[in-house]
Structure 1
Amino acid sequence: MSTKEKHIPTIFLSYSWKDFEKAEKIEKDLKDAGIKVIRDFNMNYKDSITKFMKRICNEDFAILLISNSYLNSPNCMYEVLELLKDKNFEKKILPIILPKTKIFKPKEQIEIIKYWENEIELLNNDLRELNSLANINEIIESINHFTEIRKSISFFISKIKDLNAKSFEELNDSNYKPIIEHIGILKDDIIALTLELIKIPNLSQREIEIDNLLEKYPKNGNLYFLKANLYLEEKKYKKAEKVYLKLIESNAENIGVSTIYNNIGICYNKQGLFQEAINSYNKAIEINPEEDLAYSNLALLYDEKLKDYVNAEKNYLLSIEKNDLSSLIHSNYALFLSKKRNYLKAKIHFEKALNLKFENPIELSNTHYSFANLLHLNLFKFEKAKKQYESSIKLNPKKFQAHCNLAVLLKNAFKDYEAAAFYYNEANKINPKDSITLNNLGNLYQHHLNQKELAKHHYLKAIEFDENYAEPYNGIGFLLKDEFPNKSRKYFEKGIAVNPNNSKLQFNYAKLLLEKFNLKDKAKKHYIKSITLNFKFHTNENNLLFNVKSIVIGGYR
């Protein structure tokens, strides 16, 4: 029997919005393998019966993502109540237990029952406090609904236990084997083989296995879709584009055309073909107006590449409207708002992003880092910024810039010089040739920790790795000025040769010339140069020291 002739089961996905990221992953994995997954993105409590029952009756199976938030959700439990009425209930449901779900011990089950009893009691108490009982149909309906949940919750949990429900980790590690076996897919079936392909970490090996399967199933659209996705992951954008376009020409079944156009848009964008990318994203939206990723990608393109901030914001807002539960979309919009100096609104969207779940710890680390920068540099919430930097580093210990910025915060806001040195040293381990970090360590050791040899070592290392960076010349020049004035002079002069517009170098060099070499006219010249670059060096004390009566920007009288 050919792949086209064989019935591919359809699965309805029931989950709590708090478990959105897990639902996204399961849907993507199963769809990539060629299984049709149905989700209701905009199901409201009032229309959940009609919409859900209409869909569940037409689909073969229902995955239930069981979590404590699922069991405490009126909408989710409404779906469960309706499912319990189906005579094929036990055959249809595919329960998946999410991490930290507490349902297996009697005490944990009692806590769930008590939760619903409390919800019923709260509504009844509110009802009794009303002066009039007119127009309370919805409240009565909710009380009845919660009462039905209370009656059925124990039975439902016992069924989940009897069915030997698997954990999310077990299913993910086994390539969803219990599910695909239950829905009638054999281990050598193309769908089962495709699920195994997705989990191969080595991209070259994955491509070989895809090609091997394509020899056996030369017309399988899902395999070509996986190959195109692989090229996309490998940054072979032209190759990916060609495979995606062939998929559209072949009218491949079971593959979302809007998703393909969105991915083609990514290929064009990465090749610098921005108008073509815009056209592809818009085509994806035309086919599926709910394609939130297309709106999000459009927003990023307008924002980062075309600097068209009006269209960028329009599409950021549309992507959030279509998918308010995407952590990455909220994070990207927050970054956009930060650039536009709308700091308070950016803060709101960073907080929304962090209240949602990230599957990718690197993306979560980056969001903590960006939020920390906002709190640190724009909102001056130093304690909160410190916690966000620490969260970023915990998730990604190799986040170089997070170590550096936390060090700056600890040094300037908290005056915690030992801790600042620790984080600069951690940054130095990640990027040992970064001259700015080495120079900053030198400054800490010289001016705050009284460790002159360590300061000298780091200044010299900074110069070794970047001889055209002026700051460490100033640092070591200042360090040596009292004991080794001639060496100090050479370093100041080298620094000024590298960058004659460094005001600190000019000022410190002027003081050295005056105090150690008595070169008054030359010192005066460099002092005036420092002031033209940065007026903060102009004080009456300094004017007297260098015999300058009055200073104006650009010269003196």
Structure 2
Amino acid sequence: MQVPEVFVSYAWGGESERFVNKLYAFLKAENFDVLLDKIDLGYKGNIKSFMQQLGQGRAIVVVISDKYLKSANCMFEMVEIAKHNNFSERIFPIIFPDANMYNPNARTAYIIYWENEVKKLNESMKNVENMALIAEIQQELVEYNEILNAVSKITSILKNTNSLTPEMHEHENFKSLLEAVSLVLPKKKNEDAGESRQVEKDEPTTDPVNRKYKLANIQKLLLNTFSDTDLNSFCMIYFEEVYQTFADGQSKQQKVLKLLDYCKRFMKFEYLLFHLEEENSAQFSAFQSYW
């Protein structure tokens, strides 16, 4: 896997994931390469290797919540980041209010939480007579202890970082974050056949009245342009309402049909075709015409 420019570390679910979906769309729209676990890890991907790769990233947006600070996977990612040089320079934290970094009692509570997690795992392991049977769990205990030892330092660094609130980032369309990341990783330039685009077409909003679209050709274009993962990413950026209806186990064909149905109901075929041509002009030409 090619090392992407920007990694995002966050806890799944709730407001944190909603925020990350919007952040991901903005970063992609600004032509950053973004690595997000639910998009890039893939079915049966190695979670530990993914987290270690994230830890080596040159720019990592870390979306901190109470759930994040109590998640073994999230905190393992944070420890992996901290193991490498220039920790403070490589992380771009965004802190939700429920992770109260500015209160020493709240930060102490996270230390106590991980002390208890270590104790509970230790107690469970004592009930196993043959320690050879739990070698992998012993490794997890090592990782829990690494988290415990790092919590105080990491939360203190976060406390002293002016991270802005999620609402502030959304209100300014992530302007401050994008500027900060750009200082570390200049964004890619849009290119078409190796040359910078000189003319940008206006993005359409709705379809022309009475235009009849060739759905079979558009369907073929979608199926041949995208892998399942790339289709998820495309819809997350341009058709969030459709992306939100995708479920585990759905095939790429089913997702394409949902997208086509949405475009038909809301007159979005021109908008779809505009972005499909941007995505892959060669494929776009191969399946014309579309109306």
Compute the TM-score of the two structures, normalised by the length of structure 2.
Answer: 0.66
Match of 1:219 among 197, 215, 220: 197
1:277 paired with 2:235, answer no
CA contact (8 A) 2:101 2:156 kept: no
Alpha-carbon RMSD across the aligned residues, in angstroms, is 3.9
- Looking at structure 2, the residues matched to 118 and 294 of structure 1 have their Cα atoms a distance apart, in angstroms, of 42
- How far did 1:190 drift? 9.7
User: Which residue in the other structure is 1:477 paired with?
Assistant: none
* Offset of residue 66 of structure 1: 0.6
* Cα drift, residue 272 of structure 1: 5.0
Aligned residues: percent identity? 22
CA 1:144–1:318: 2 relative to 1, 3 Å: same
1:64 counterpart SS class? strand
| TM superposition shift of 1:220 | 6.3
Q: Map 1:225-374 onto structure 2 (within 5 A).
A: 227-228=202-203, 231=204, 234-236=205-207, 272-286=213-227, 289=229, 291-292=231-232, 318-319=249-250
Write the distance in 2 (CA, Å) between the matches of 1:121 and 1:281.
52
**Structure 2 Cα separation of the partners of residues 316 and 10 of structure 1:** 28
- Equivalent position of 1:13 in the other structure: 8
Q: After superposition, give the CA deviation of every residue in 1:395-440 in whole Å (9 maximum; x if it has no partner).
A: xxxxxxxxxxxxxxxxxxxxxxxxxxxxxxxxxxxxxxxxxxxxxx
Q: Distance in 2 between matches of 1:117 and 1:151?
A: 9
What's 1:51 paired with?
50
Residue 25 (structure 1) aligned with residue 3 (structure 2): no
| Bigger relative contact order (CA 8 A; separation at least 6) | 2
What is the Cα deviation at residue 99 of structure 1? 4.2
AA partner of residue 206 (structure 2): K
The amino acid of 1:236's aligned partner reads: D
Q: Which residue of 2 aligns with 1:326?
A: none
C-alpha separation in 2, matches of 1:290 and 1:184: 24
Task: State the Cα deviation string for residues 6-59 of structure 1 (Å, max 9, x = none).
Answer: xxx9211111112322111101012112222122223899944533343554x5
Find the residue that maps to 2:20 and give its secondary structure.
helix
Whether the 8 Å contact between 2:55 and 2:84 is mirrored in structure 1 is no
C-alpha displacement of 1:160: 1.0
Q: Pick from 61, 64, 82: which aligns with 1:63?
A: 61
Matched with 1:105 is 103
Which moved further from structure 2: 31-40 or 141-150? 31-40
Letter in 1 for 2:33: K
Displacement after TM superposition at 1:106 (Å): 1.4
User: Higher helix proportion, which one?
Assistant: 1
User: Does structure 1 conserve the Cα–Cα contact (< 8 Å) formed by 2:63 and 2:93?
Assistant: yes
In structure 1, give the amino acid aligned to 2:29. Answer: D
Q: Deviations over 1:43-83 (max 9, x none)?
A: 899944533343554x5311001111111111111111111
Change (3 A) 1:237 1:43: same
The alpha-carbon distance between structure 1 residues 73 and 271, as it changes in their structure 2 partners (threshold 3 A), is farther
User: Is residue 83–residue 89 contact of structure 1 (8 Å, CA) maintained in 2?
Assistant: yes
Q: Considering only CA atoms, is the larger Rg found in Structure 1 or Structure 2?
A: 1
| TM-score, normalisation: structure 1 | 0.37
Aligned to 1:169: 167
1:134 matched residue in structure 2: 132
Q: What is the CA-CA distance between 1:168 and the residue it aligns to?
A: 0.9
Query: What secondary structure sits across from 2:93 in the alignment?
Result: strand
Which residue in the other structure is 1:213 paired with? none
Q: Distance in 2 between matches of 1:90 and 1:283?
A: 42
Q: Secondary structure at the match of 1:76?
A: helix
Q: Number of aligned residue pairs: give it.
A: 233
Letter in 1 for 2:19: K
Give, in whole Å, the separation in 2 of the partners of 1:34 and 1:97: 24
Pair 317,171 (structure 1): closer, same or farther in 2 beyond 3 Å: closer
Matches within 5 A, 1:392-403: none
User: Which consecutive unaligned segments of at least 5 residues does structure 2 have?
Assistant: 189-195, 259-291
1:132 Cα deviation (Å)?
Answer: 3.2
Deviations 1:452-475 (A, max 9, x none): xxxxxxxxxxxxxxxxxxxxxxxx
Judging changes above 3 Å, is the alpha-carbon distance between structure 1 residues 70 and 276 closer, same or farther for their aligned structure 2 residues? same
Give 4+ residue runs of structure 1 displaced > 6 Å after superposition. Answer: 43-46, 293-296
Measure, in 2, the Cα distance between the counterparts of 1:319 and 1:294: 16
Report deviation, 1:184. Answer: 4.0
